[in-house]
Amino acid sequence: MRQLIAGNWKMNGLTAASAALADAILAGADSLPCDLLVCPPFTQIAALAAILRGTMVSLGAQNCHEAASGAHTGDISPEMLADVGCTAVILGHSERRQNHHETDATVHAKVLGAARASLMPVVCVGETEAQRDAGQHLAIVGGQIAGSLPENFGGVIAYEPIWAIGTGRTPTQADIEAMHCHIRASLFAHLGPAGARVRILYGGSVKPDNAAAILAIPEVGGALVGGASLDPKHFLAIAASAIGG
């Protein structure tokens, strides 16, 4: 499977800077050995859709509501995202689970909404440092997989240990491999043979200097990149480290 390098811009990017970042990524995107996805804030999606349309860089959002429309002040539906040119959406990021009280059940409903609108869900899972220290990390992430994914799930998983996000710290390669193998087994248990087709990204302090080592780990199907995705040189260097498939 071709690896996927996805940029999560989080709450960053005014109009001029976002267009410049998209242009710079596009300028270096030719002949990379991976699929590329950028996920800007909602306010930049329409502008980026115009820049990225017809290119090999896909466009995604960072969240959505589960319903198609209705009385949900301040929310954005999957259909609205598809309408403005998104083909993917990040769901259940730990910052949303923590700051917006999203549960596995919330994420499950949003995954169904995304599928209804033909968006590829990128579902985030990951443990806290206390859970890892207590030896609970495999059980926690297995529970998130079982609780967040419908049985016909056809998207992507991003394993992001919460203590590695934005901290410059990463798990050991052995720890990443153990978790990704555990996630693969959980996917088979939950989805049957279709579990083989789900790419499992690693996220959390992926940088140009650690990307090659992380992307070479068995069962790592790409990377979800936060901070380093805001610098086109860094994002492209990470993408150049991908293993072609």
161 binds ligand PGA (CB under 6 A): no
7 binds ligand PGA (CB under 6 A): no
SS3 56: coil
Catalytic-residue membership of 79: no
Determine phi and psi for 149, rounding to 5 degrees. -105, 130
Task: Give the list of residues 6+ apart from residue 20 with CB closer than 8 angstroms, or none.
Answer: none
Q: What is the number of the residue whose Cβ is closest to ligand PGA? A: 226
160 binds ligand PGA (CB under 6 A): yes
Q: Of 65, 66, 93, 95, which residue is the catalytic one?
A: 93
205 binds ligand PGA (CB under 6 A): yes
170 binds ligand PGA (CB under 6 A): no
Catalytic-residue membership of 129: no
Distance of CA 162 to the CA centre of its chain: 14
Scanning 22-30, 50-58, 135-143, 219-227 for contacts with ligand PGA by CB under 6 A, the matching segment is 219-227
Whose CA is closest to 237, among 55, 23, 11, 24? 24
Q: Of 66, 95, 102, 160, which residue is the catalytic one?
A: 160
Q: Nearest approach, Cβ of 68 to ligand PGA (angstroms)?
A: 27
Q: How large is the greatest C-alpha to C-alpha distance in the chain, in angstroms?
A: 48
Determine phi and psi for 78, rounding to 5 degrees. -60, -40
Q: Nearest approach, Cβ of 141 to ligand PGA (angstroms)?
A: 15
Give the other-Cβ count within 10 Å of 180's Cβ: 20
Pairing of strands 4-8, 35-39: parallel
204 binds ligand PGA (CB under 6 A): yes
Structure tokens at 62: 């960072």
Nearer to ligand PGA, 205 or 241 (CB): 205
User: Which residues of this protein are in contact with ligand PGA, per CB under 6 A?
Assistant: 8, 160, 165-166, 203-206, 224-228
Which residues carry out catalysis? 93, 160
